[in-house]
Amino acid sequence: MNRSHRHAAGSGCLGTMEVKSKFGAEFRRFSLERSKPGKFEEFYGLLQHVHKIPNVDVLVGYADIHGDLLPINNDDNYHKAVSTANPLLRIFIQKKEEADYSAFGTDTLIKKKNVLSNVLRPDNHRKKPHIVISMPQDFRPVSSIIDVDILPETHRRVRLYKYGTEKPLGFYIRDGSSVRVTPHGLEKVPGIFISRLVPGGLAQSTGLLAVNDEVLEVNGIEVSGKSLDQVTDMMIANSRNLIITVRPANQRNNVVRNSRTSGSSGQSTDNSLLGYPQQIERSFEPEDEDSEEDDIIIEDNGVPQQIPKAVANTESLESLTQIELSLESGQNGFIPSNEVSIASIASSTNTEFETHAPDQKLLEEDGTIITL
Amino acid sequence: MPEVSGGGCRPSRMRRFLRPGHDPVRERLKRDLFQFNKTVEHGFPHQPSALGYSPSLRILAIGTRSGAIKLYGAPGVEFMGLHRENNTVTQIHLLPGQCQLVTLLDDNSLHLWSLKIKGGASELQEDESFTLRGPPGAAPSATQITVVLPHSSCELLYLGTESGNVFVVQLPAFRVLEDRTISSDAVLQRLPEEARHRRVFEMVEALQEHPRDPNQILIGYSRGLVVIWDLQGSRVLYHFLSSQQLENICWQRDGLLLVSCHSDGSYCQWLVSSDAQQPEPLRSLVPYGPFPCKAITKILWLTSRQGLPFIIFQGGMPRASYGDRHCISVVHDSQQTAFDFTSRVIDFTVLTEADPTAAFDDPYVLVVLAEEELVVIDLQTAGWPPVQLPYLASLHCSAITCSHHVSNIPLKLWERIIAAGSRQNSHFSTMEWPIDGGTSLTPAPPQRDLLLTGHEDGTVRFWDASGVCLRLLYKLSTVHVFLTDTDPNENLNTQGEDEWPPLRKVGSFDPYSDDPRLGIQKIFLCKYSGYLAVAGTAGQVLVLELNDEAAEQTVEQVEADLLQDQEGYRWKGHERLTARSGPVHFEPGFQPFVLVQCQPPAVVTSLALHSEWRLVAFGTSHGFGLFDHQQQRQVFVKCTLHPSDQLALEGPLSRVKSLKKSLRQSFRRMRRSRVSSRKRLPAGTPGEVQEGSAKAERPGLQNMELAPVQRKIEARSAEDSFTGFVRTLYFADTYLRDSSRHCPSLWAGTNGGTIYAFSLRVPPAERRMDEPVRAEQAKEIQLMHRAPVVGILVLDGHSVPLPEPLEVAHDLSKSPDMQGSHQLLVVSEEQFKVFTLPKVSAKLKLKLTALEGSRVRRVSVAHFGSRRAEDGEHHLAVLTNLGDIQVVSLPHLKPQVRYSCIRREDVSGIASCVFTKYGQGFYLISPSEFERFSLSTKWLVEPRCLVDSAETKNRCPGNRAGPKKAPSRARISGTQSDGEEKLPGLGMERALLSDERVLKEIQSTLEGDRGSCGNWCSPRAAVECSLSNGGAE
């Protein structure tokens, strides 16, 4: 043990990292090259090998810096796990067939009450029956926080994916007044606020929007100077892929950028610089090109079909959209219940990654994807 | 475009919006094609409050409660001015012989306006304003002006006040001449002893200048004292004492007789002679006595060559039985008529001999300004018939429910409509329009345009909308088709000879509708065939044909059951109208021959007529149908109702919707007024008054916080109400099924974002009556954003909108390109989309609502011509719910320009907007007025006129025909943009164009034999005419 501790302590400079893996009652220890951790598949094989369970399907989880049990099921969260492990990476392995999915998530390892999450989500206390979680590709994003790195920390850009769900968007907006800082001092200006969330609606179930949040933008268009009716019409027109930028009434849960916990912050900065135009493009263009194109045509009383697009050059964008969606679902796709969402934001987890799409486009997704 | 402001996410938006607009060539072309102008207001001013007339200029002036003044002369001569203060104009006085007028507002301010000639045309502008102030501490009534007398010298204004003092101010600077003030004390001192004992003064009711002697003025006080004051000697020349409250007074032309009218309904004649010191009235009379009468508020005593005078007075009706009537009585010789107006009389004037030296007044026209209309009565013709107005028409005789514009009417149809209309106008006087001052410099309109307005009482009015004056050509009534509660033979005018008072209804304002179901909701006129389709509130669709002869015919009745086999619905709205059975007599004009009644009888929400195929399509909130009016057979009906949509079934949609809307509106208004009242408070001045008002406001604010206006954010779904509401119908000959064969088709768009396309088989002309028209549903498109479809259009192979039916047959349009592939343009309230045909695939789109939060309210194809390019371009003119007008290019759907036009709160204005095919439009600014606007640089109809005080003052109606002065700019041909040099030869062309006769000849030549024009007129004129005539390429 001593030896391994010493080893672990020195790992930071030596570039290796100690891994402590637990399967059932058995522990295994080994070390990894921090700089080139390899792929998830290799790591998965390695775990099966060290635990001598070559043909057993398992779920892999790790304890993150806050003591939360988070899943490792793809390259991205594997890399995240490796990059944030300090000093050692604690791995928990469960057999798939007897996996306890509720184990994952916030507060799962550290049993102290998280005050914030309780405030935000009072139903946290009521334990819901656990849902069986499938693989990432089976997931469909419902909402996300996006563009974290380009927005002020006090703002939050939330994307609600209406398509495919039967859930109503389920919120109301109202007029109100807000205080702005101007060169001439503070000024009271009219603003648009979320006035009500419908229980069971999409907006409420994401937990990303709350009553009295001020609406600043709708799909990238500022609402200042627009009437309540105009903003209503804009939101409804965008309802199939609504991106709302709000200033949350509760500012305590803001994403804190460049925090010490964000191990990949440096990388993130680089990314955002590199991929800036594409990133912006991506944030707003897909809304133009994806879900709303699916007008339906019925020919000669036949079967309804989606109307195809006539112009060739939009195809790349469409495929781009596809990729984006699968990425989103991949990212953190293992988070099983809605309890996770807020806490992971609250705990300043700012996950960033990059990947190259099969075709030429550089794609990027920022922020945490919340999946229900 | 939305404001672009700083922030991390802007570059993409910037780029998106800048991308289309950065082509300098296109930018220049845009400037060539588009410009926005509100050009003229048609109709009758809303809430008129004052009338003025200048006999020398022959110009009429009307002031309104919103502080506007409008001047009218010869048709086409119009001016408008607006006081900075939004106060009621209480008096207008045109200064004798001058191009100047003085207005008095209800805030006691006086304003001097003048018509100044600038760039060859007159403009109305305000020169000075003035408020009469008394000494410090004086009561406000001391200087409250009651009467204004412009002195014939044109340098002085005499101002009678509530205090009884008469102040004198000098024009044009409104300098108060204090030494000339005629105080009531001064008058009292100069009265003989016996006249002083009574309290005779109080406010000044009348001020008149002696008709012959400018040094004498007459002052009438409300208590009944009248004095004739010598201005030079400052003395009372004569005084008269009446026992009744004085209302007004009139001085006979020779100055020898006074006529006063009083509050008890009497008038008195007084001889002006020096012998009697305490004169008694020569004659005192209560014309409608002996029972108590209402006051006579104004009287005119006008001499005539024939001997007996005309006595014209307002009011004086028997209080008990006719006290509610608005009457003006004319008494001459043994004739007496009490003209009975349907709205309150504001004021009246009589046009008389303008030459002050003439021996007699010789009144020839009575002009009455009533609250809702102007009535002009010919006093020279026996029976005193009304004169038809060339302008100032009361558009709202019955409330306007819809409007439809047809550009470029063929001469033949135009003449037939005018002929039909002239038969209806036989009761009008043949007198030429008497108010004919000024000269219109506007060239004659290059084409004939019709504006059709549908009204609540079931009438359709046809207006000549070609030029500055909106003139009624013909009125069509659909009432005779139906059995209504009121007997049409009941006539208010038929009264016995010995009826007293001799009332006679005049004017056309009649806001009371017998039956709201008669209201007209949709109009569609085919200008080539003379077929007209009209649809109304109770699901009635009438197809009419123009017939020059009166006819007795039976109207074919058909019921269209739009619910078909849908079960279990109960219509809770109004019942359908009962049609008359048997033949009905119809006057020459548009005569109905088919009546389709929708079942349930919901309001018709869309209508389309294809005169070549002889088909009419109609839609309601339940579905749509197609009717073959040649064979008088229903082709098909389609129910568009969603099974769960109960609301649409229950009753008239309008009621449900308007209530919702009006509630929303009133809430918003409340909020707005609160916000604005808060804003008005001066900031940072603490004091008790301020605190008090702040306290008073707080409860209001709290209420607002308690019940905020909320809007639900929810995606539209198929289950929403009124998704089946058919918003638009469109006929097109296009490639619906395959790309090798085109066929007639009918397209329908609903509130729920569904588009239905039916392929039609119309038998060839020779077998048209033998084979049925067949229809088959070919396509159904569901827009995923589910916004209401407000427009459907097919573009041909050259991306040009398909021509109207018969347009090609009449050689007024190129045949559509049937070689290339057609495209379908669908306009929803939220976005524009282009699809390919026949295989429907999405090609292009432009989102409006998602980007700026505005929604399409009206969309129409318009042809924009420029002076440079020969043929111009087709684009979409779009009105949004925010009152903005935008032009969106075809076929690329690029926003071109955007102008704010109507206030967004003006819901009825936005709802009333109608576009023309050449980039103009109309919308209601009040129930009785259309504002005309233009988006085009080429088509601009606006008044441009000259009024000159030096012009001949005698009446000579012959000299106003023909162009007198060469205008410096020709608005129609588009030398509008500044910095452009005038084209040589324009003068010639204009002279040709403005001569109506020549123009008619040109056009008839063009219409008759299009090949042979131009050999006799200048080539440029020929080009101009062909552009204006066949501009729709």
Q: What is the pLDDT of residue A67?
A: 76
Is A278 within the bounds of a domain?
A: no
Per-range mean pLDDT, top range of A16-30, B353-367, B740-754 = B740-754
Is residue B592 over pLDDT 80? Answer: yes
Mean pLDDT of the A8-12 span: 42
Which residue did the predictor score with more confidence, B219 or B278?
A: B219
Q: How many CB pairs under 8 A join A and B?
A: 165
Q: Which of B701, B713, B780 to mutate to test the interface with A (most CBs of A within 10 A)?
A: B713
CA distance A251 to chain B (A): 20
Q: What is the pLDDT of residue B14?
A: 42
Q: Are residues A150 and A211 in the same domain?
A: yes
Mean pLDDT of the B329-354 span: 92
Q: What is the pLDDT of residue B809?
A: 76
Is residue A310 over pLDDT 60? Answer: yes
CB contact under 8 A, B708 and A174: yes
Is residue B689 over pLDDT 50? Answer: no
> Chain B contacts of A247, Cβ < 8 Å?
none
Q: Are residues A76 and A158 in the same domain?
A: no
- The pLDDT-based confidence of B497 (bands split at 50, 70, 90) is low
User: Is residue A173 less than 8 Å (CB to CB) from chain B?
Assistant: yes
Crossing angle between the packed helical segments B986-994 and B1019-1029, to the nearest 10 degrees: 50
Q: What is the pLDDT of residue B634?
A: 94
> Chain A contacts of B5, Cβ < 8 Å?
222
Q: What is the pLDDT of residue B647?
A: 62
Mean pLDDT of the B742-747 span: 94
Q: What is the pLDDT of residue B249?
A: 93
* CA B871/CA B725 separation, integer angstroms: 38
Is A283 within the bounds of a domain?
A: no
High-pLDDT (> 90) share of chain B, %: 49
A204: CATH = 2.30.42.10
Q: What is the pLDDT of residue B359?
A: 85
- By C-alpha distance, the chain A residue nearest B1 is A221
Q: Are residues A155 and A233 in the same domain?
A: yes
> Chain A contacts of B904, Cβ < 8 Å?
227
| Closest Cβ opposite residue B853 in set A170, A230, A293 | A230
Tokens of B77: 């001569």
Mean pLDDT of the B917-924 span: 93
Is residue A160 over pLDDT 80? Answer: yes
| Closest Cβ opposite residue A151 in set B2, B8, B904 | B8
Is A322 within the bounds of a domain?
A: no
Q: What is the pLDDT of residue B879?
A: 95
Is A1 within the bounds of a domain?
A: no
CB contact under 8 A, A301 and B777: yes
Q: Are residues A99 and A160 in the same domain?
A: no
Q: Are residues A29 and A93 in the same domain?
A: yes
CA distance B169 to chain A (A): 49
- By C-alpha distance, the chain B residue nearest A277 is B12
Q: What is the pLDDT of residue A130?
A: 53
Chain A window 281-300: which residues touch B at a Cβ cutoff of 8 Å? 281, 283-285, 288, 291-300
DSSP A285: H
Is residue B11 over pLDDT 50? Answer: no
Is residue B1018 over pLDDT 50? Answer: no
Q: Are residues A147 and A249 in the same domain?
A: yes
Mean pLDDT of the B498-520 span: 84
| Closest Cβ opposite residue B850 in set A151, A237, A309 | A237
- By C-alpha distance, the chain B residue nearest A175 is B709
Chain A window 230-259: which residues touch B at a Cβ cutoff of 8 Å? 230-240
Among A253, A288, A319, which residue terminates a domain?
A: A253
Q: What is the pLDDT of residue B668?
A: 54
Is residue A9 over pLDDT 50? Answer: no
CB contact under 8 A, B842 and A309: yes
High-pLDDT (> 70) share of chain B, %: 80
Among A190, A218, A253, which residue terminates a domain?
A: A253
Q: Are residues A97 and A180 in the same domain?
A: no
Mean pLDDT of the B261-289 span: 84
Q: What is the pLDDT of residue B697?
A: 42
pLDDT digits (tens, 9 = 90+) for B595-643: 999 988 999 999 999 999 999 999 998 999 999 999 999 999 999 887 7
A60: CATH = 3.10.20.90
Q: Report which of B731, B778, B720, B723 is spatially closest to residue B753, judged by C-alpha positions.
A: B723
Mean pLDDT of the B931-957 span: 74
Is A312 within the bounds of a domain?
A: no
Q: What is the pLDDT of residue B520?
A: 95
> Chain B contacts of A311, Cβ < 8 Å?
843-844
pLDDT digits (tens, 9 = 90+) for A248-291: 988 877 766 654 443 333 333 333 333 333 333 333 444 444 44
Which residue did the predictor score with more confidence, B680 or B718?
A: B718
Backbone conformation region of residue B303, classed left if phi is above 0, alpha if psi is from -120 to 50, else beta: beta
Q: What is the pLDDT of residue B572?
A: 80
Is residue A365 over pLDDT 70? Answer: no
- By C-alpha distance, the chain B residue nearest A290 is B784
- The pLDDT-based confidence of B901 (bands split at 50, 70, 90) is very high
CA distance A322 to chain B (A): 19
Query: CA triplet B238, B243, B245: central angle to 5 degrees?
Result: 95
pLDDT digits (tens, 9 = 90+) for B192-207: 777 776 665 688 999 9
**Residue span of the structural domain in which A213 resides:** 143-253
- The pLDDT-based confidence of A311 (bands split at 50, 70, 90) is low
User: Is residue A302 less than 8 Å (CB to CB) from chain B?
Assistant: no
Q: Are residues A77 and A179 in the same domain?
A: no
Query: Which runs of E-coded beta strand occur in B901-1016?
Result: 914-915, 920-926, 929-936, 945-946
Q: Are residues A82 and A167 in the same domain?
A: no
Is A33 within the bounds of a domain?
A: yes
Mean pLDDT of the A10-25 span: 72
Q: Are residues A80 and A157 in the same domain?
A: no
Q: Which of B366-380, B455-469, B472-486, B767-781 has the lowest mean pLDDT?
A: B472-486
- The pLDDT-based confidence of B676 (bands split at 50, 70, 90) is very low
Number of domains in chain A: 2
Q: How far from B839 is each of A72, A312, B458, B779, B801, CA to CA, in Å?
A: 47, 15, 43, 10, 19
CB contact under 8 A, B714 and A222: no
Q: What is the pLDDT of residue A38?
A: 83
Q: Are residues A248 and A156 in the same domain?
A: yes
Is residue B27 over pLDDT 80? Answer: yes
CB contact under 8 A, B850 and A238: yes
Q: Are residues A37 and A88 in the same domain?
A: yes
Contacts 24+ apart (CB under 8 A), A256-263: A256/A153, A256/A348, A256/A350, A257/A148, A257/A149, A257/A153, A257/A350, A259/A348, A259/A350, A261/A65, A261/A66, A261/A84, A261/A347, A261/A348, A261/A349, A262/A348, A262/A349, A262/A350, A262/A352, A263/A80, A263/A83, A263/A84
- The pLDDT-based confidence of A351 (bands split at 50, 70, 90) is very low
Is A249 within the bounds of a domain?
A: yes
Is A80 within the bounds of a domain?
A: yes
Q: What is the pLDDT of residue B487?
A: 52
User: Across all residues in chain B, what is the average pLDDT?
Assistant: 81
Q: Which of A11-20, B369-378, B914-923 has the lowest mean pLDDT?
A: A11-20
Among A103, A126, A151, which residue terminates a domain?
A: A103
Mean pLDDT of the A293-298 span: 78
* CA B305/CA B303 separation, integer angstroms: 7
Q: What is the pLDDT of residue B370?
A: 95
